[in-house]
C-alpha cells in the first residue's frame, strides 16, 4: 500500500462529541470515520486491523470444531414472540423496522431465535452432537448512550457462537473448551496479561456466566480481581457467597475498572424448549438439547487494544493485528532515493510481508509523525544518507533508538515473529 494512493489520510480534526481515546486516535490516524454516535465506517487500514482480529478469533473457534456460518441480520418477529424477547420490556435495545407490506422485522442483536429453528432441520439424532456454530457478523443494539467509541457501538462486529449438546455433562465439556480457546484468543491479541475471567450474572439464562474483562480506566464495568489467581468478580454479583464459592478472600480483592471483551453463557433449554429442539439420547429417552452462547466483540476488541496500546504519539499495534508489519518512509525525491526505496518496497512485498510505503511528497517531519500515529510495529527509512552508506535506518515503534542495518538483516527482523 502506497500512502500516495490511499484516500484515507491522517487528520488533526476529531468530532467535538468524540471523547473516547480509542476513537479519537483511530479517526486521527485515518483508520475509521465517525458517522454518528456508536456508528463508524472502517477505512482501508482500519478494515485490515478488524479483519486481522476476526481471523485470530476464527482460527481459535475452528480449532475447537466451530463451524462458521452467516445468518441474516433481519429477524422474524414471530420467533422472538415465541421466546418472549420481542417485547421491549424484556429487550430494551431493539432496532425494529417493517417491510412495505407492513410485516414487522428486527435487526439482530443476537441470533438464538434464528439458529435454533434452523438446527431443527439438521439435528435428528444424538449422533449429530455436539455442534458449535458461529458467525462473525454485524449486530445492532439501540444503546441509550454510546460514548465509549468503538467499545459501545450501536452497529458493531461480533463473533457469536452457539453450542448444542445432548446433556449437561456434554455441555460442560464444550463450555470449558471455549473458555480455554478464549484465553488463547486474548493471548494472541496481546491482551492476556490484563484480561481476567470474571464471574458475572447469568441474566435470564443461568445463575452465573463468565466474562473476559480487560483492565482499563476507560472501562464501563467495575470488577474485583485477585491478581495472583487471575480471576475476578463483577460488581453485580459481588457477594460473600460468590467470594467463598470461588475460594477467594475479600481482603485480597482489588476494585478496578475494566472493559468486557468477551462472554460465555450457559443457556440450558431456554431456547430449545420453545422451538421443540429435542432428540432421543443413547438410552432412547427424549432429551431437549442444552445450549451455550459465546460472544466476542470484534470491533470492541479493536477499541480496547487502542486504549491499551497507545502513547502520546499515537497507536502502538501488536504485531499480530497491525495493518502492516513495517512502514517504509522515503525521505527525499532524487532519483537514487526513489529507486532504492521502490526496490526495497517491491522486495518486501514479494516475500509476502505486509508493508505500507510512505512515498508522499510531504515534509519528513509529517511522515515521521504519521508513522508514529499509525502505530506500525517497525519503520525503515530510505534517505540520501542511507543510500550513500548502502544501509537502511531501522527502528521499532516502541524504541527511541534507530540502527543502521543491511537489507538481509532487515529481512531477518521482519521474519522474526
Same domain membership, residue 150 and residue 89 = yes
Give the lowest-confidence range in 176-190, 225-239, 253-267, 402-416: 402-416
- Which of these three, 311, 345, 372, is where a domain ends? 311
Give the lowest-confidence range in 8-12, 295-299, 324-328: 8-12
The total of other beta-carbon atoms located within 10 Å of residue 124's CB is 10
Same domain membership, residue 237 and residue 210 = yes
Q: Which phi-psi region, left, alpha or beta, contains residue 203 (left: φ > 0; alpha: ψ -120 to 50)? A: left
Is 321 within a domain? no
Same domain membership, residue 330 and residue 305 = no
Distance CA 71, CA 118 (A): 10
Distance CA 151, CA 281 (A): 42
Distance CA 117, CA 260 (A): 29
Same domain membership, residue 409 and residue 290 = no
pLDDT on residue 94: 93
CATH no. for residue 168? 3.30.930.10
Tell whether the model's pLDDT for residue 145 goes beyond 80: no
Same domain membership, residue 122 and residue 264 = yes
Tell whether the model's pLDDT for residue 416 goes beyond 90: no
What is the residue-averaged pLDDT of the chain? 93
What is the rounded average pLDDT of the residues 393-404? 91
**For residues 17 and 37, is the Cβ–Cβ distance under 8 A?**
yes
Is 368 within a domain? yes
Same domain membership, residue 195 and residue 56 = yes
Higher pLDDT, 377 or 207: 377
What pLDDT digit, counting tens, does each position of 148-191 carry? 888 888 999 999 999 999 999 999 999 999 999 999 999 999 99
Distance CA 200, CA 246 (A): 12
The total of other beta-carbon atoms located within 10 Å of residue 69's CB is 15
The count of structural domains within the chain is 2
Is 339 within a domain? yes
Is 318 within a domain? no
- Which of these three, 311, 342, 374, is where a domain ends? 311
Same domain membership, residue 79 and residue 189 = yes
- The helix/strand/coil state of 22 is helix
pLDDT on residue 257: 96
Is 223 within a domain? yes
pLDDT bracket for residue 42 (50, 70, 90): very high
pLDDT bracket for residue 411 (50, 70, 90): confident
pLDDT on residue 18: 87
Same domain membership, residue 367 and residue 277 = no
CA angle at 286 for the pair 283 and 292, rounded to the nearest 5°: 105
Same domain membership, residue 352 and residue 222 = no
The pTM for the full model equals: 0.94
Is 319 within a domain? no
Q: Which of 390, 377, 375, 369 shows the shortest CA–CA distance to 417?
A: 377
Distance CA 270, CA 89 (A): 18
Give the lowest-confidence range in 194-198, 216-220, 221-225, 321-325: 216-220
CA 237 to chain centre: 26
CATH no. for residue 356? 3.40.50.800
pLDDT on residue 417: 59
* DSSP single-letter state for residue 289: P
What range defines the domain where residue 378 resides?
326-414
Is the four-CA dihedral 88, 90, 96, 99 of positive or negative sign? negative
What is the rounded average pLDDT of the residues 32-43? 93
Same domain membership, residue 384 and residue 238 = no
Render 332-394 in DSSP notation, one character per residue.
--SHHHHHHHHHHHHHHHHTT--EEEE--SS-HHHHHHHHHHHT-SEEEEE-HHHHHHT-EEE
Is 320 within a domain? no
Same domain membership, residue 354 and residue 242 = no
Higher pLDDT, 413 or 6: 6
The total of other beta-carbon atoms located within 10 Å of residue 207's CB is 10
Distance CA 34, CA 26 (A): 10
pLDDT bracket for residue 294 (50, 70, 90): very high
Query: What is the Cβ-side half-sphere exposure of residue 51, based on CA atoms within 13 angstroms?
Result: 10
- Which of these three, 258, 281, 311, is where a domain ends? 311
What is the rounded average pLDDT of the residues 104-129? 95
Same domain membership, residue 91 and residue 227 = yes
Tell whether the model's pLDDT for residue 52 goes beyond 70: yes
pLDDT bracket for residue 205 (50, 70, 90): low
Is 375 within a domain? yes
Amino acid at each position: 500500500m502506497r500512502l500516495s494512493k490511499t484516500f484515507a489520510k491522517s487528520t488533526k480534526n476529531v468530532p467535538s462529541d468524540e471523547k473516547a481515546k480509542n476513537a479519537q486516535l483511530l479517526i486521527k490516524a485515518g483508520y475509521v470515520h465517525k458517522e454518528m454516535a456508536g456508528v463508524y465506517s472502517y477505512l482501508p487500514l482500519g478494515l485490515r486491523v478488524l479483519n486481522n482480529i476476526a481471523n485470530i478469533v476464527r482460527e481459535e473457534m475452528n480449532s475447537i470444531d466451530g463451524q462458521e456460518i452467516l445468518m441474516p441480520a433481519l429477524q422474524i418477529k414471530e420467533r422472538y414472540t415465541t421466546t418472549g424477547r420481542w417485547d421491549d420490556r424484556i429487550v430494551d435495545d431493539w432496532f425494529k423496522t417493517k417491510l412495505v407490506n407492513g410485516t414487522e422485522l428486527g435487526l439482530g442483536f443476537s441470533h438464538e431465535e434464528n439458529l435454533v429453528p434452523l438446527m431443527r432441520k439438521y439435528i435428528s439424532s444424538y449422533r449429530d452432537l455436539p455442534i458449535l456454530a458461529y458467525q462473525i457478523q454485524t449486530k445492532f443494539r439501540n444503546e441509550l448512550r454510546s460514548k465509549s467509541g468503538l467499545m459501545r457501538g450501536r452497529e458493531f462486529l461480533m463473533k457469536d457462537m452457539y453450542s448444542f449438546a445432548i446433556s449437561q455433562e456434554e455441555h460442560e465439556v464444550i463450555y470449558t473448551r471455549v473458555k480455554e480457546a478464549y484465553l488463547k484468543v486474548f493471548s494472541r491479541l496481546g491482551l492476556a496479561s490484563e484480561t481476567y475471567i470474571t464471574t458475572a450474572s447469568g441474566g435470564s439464562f443461568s445463575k452465573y456466566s463468565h466474562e473476559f474483562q480487560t483492565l482499563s480506566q476507560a472501562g464501563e464495568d467495575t470488577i474485583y480481581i485477585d491478581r495472583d489467581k487471575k480471576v475476578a468478580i463483577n460488581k453485580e454479583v459481588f457477594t460473600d457467597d460468590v467470594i467463598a464459592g470461588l475460594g477467594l478472600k475479600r481482603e485480597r480483592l482489588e476494585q478496578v475498572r475494566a472493559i468486557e471483551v468477551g462472554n460465555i453463557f450457559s443457556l440450558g433449554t431456554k431456547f430449545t424448549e420453545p422451538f421443540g429442539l429435542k432428540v432421543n439420547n443413547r438410552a432412547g429417552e427424549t432429551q431437549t438439547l442444552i445450549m451455550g452462547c459465546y460472544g466476542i466483540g470484534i470491533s470492541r476488541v479493536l477499541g480496547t487494544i487502542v486504549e491499551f496500546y497507545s502513547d502520546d504519539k499515537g497507536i502502538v499495534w501488536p504485531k499480530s493485528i497491525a495493518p502492516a508489519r513495517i512502514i517504509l518512509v522515503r525521505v527525499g525525491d532524487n532519483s537514487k532515493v526513489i529507486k532504492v526505496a521502490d526496490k526495497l518496497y517491491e522486495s518486501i512485498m514479494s516475500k509476502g510481508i505486509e508493508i505500507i510505503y510512505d512515498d508522499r511528497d510531504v515534509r519528513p517531519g509529517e511522515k515521521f509523525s504519521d508513522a508514529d500515529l499509525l502505530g506500525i510495529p517497525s519503520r525503515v527509512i530510505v534517505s540520501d544518507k542511507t543510500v550513500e552508506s548502502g544501509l537502511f535506518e531501522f527502528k521499532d515503534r516502541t524504541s527511541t533508538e534507530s540502527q543502521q542495518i543491511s537489507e538481509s538483516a532487515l529481512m531477518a527482523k521482519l521474519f522474526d515473529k
